[in-house]
Amino acid sequence: MTRKKTSKPAVKKTTRARKSQTVGESIIQGLKEAIAWTKGENDNVRVTLVNVPKVDVRKVRLKMGLSQAQFAAKFGFPPATLRNWEQGRSHPDAPTRVLLAVIAKHPKAVEDVLRKAS
């Protein structure tokens, strides 16, 4: 009786279960990747760019039939800031423009959230 010899691979590959990251480790890794990307060191990252809309604050306010004071009070903006936006002396930053865009489309939703928060 002859036995067949079976050859074993020269290199044994092992698959190791990948340790799942904690939330903190994931955040740190993401920050390191972001820093590397801004330095031009890492092209292998996913970058999401968001186009934040420009909002005509006066148009939104007038459509709602509110005075500057009423609009400012209802949505938590300083009245002077609202006046400056409407008169073009300053402009809302990106996060504020997002909020203003939501107010323009869904004012009742924003009012509801603000009412429940206070």
- Express as a percent the part of the chain with pLDDT over 90: 57
C-alpha neighbours within 13 Å on the C-beta side of residue 106:
8
DSSP 87-116: TTSS---HHHHHHHHHHHH-HHHHHHHHHH
Encoding tokens for residue 85?
């936006």
pTM over 0.95: no
Chain segment 58-76, per-residue pLDDT in tens:
999 999 999 999 999 999 9
Report whether pLDDT(34) > 90: no
The predicted structure's pLDDT at residue 73: 94
Under DSSP, the state recorded for 64 is T
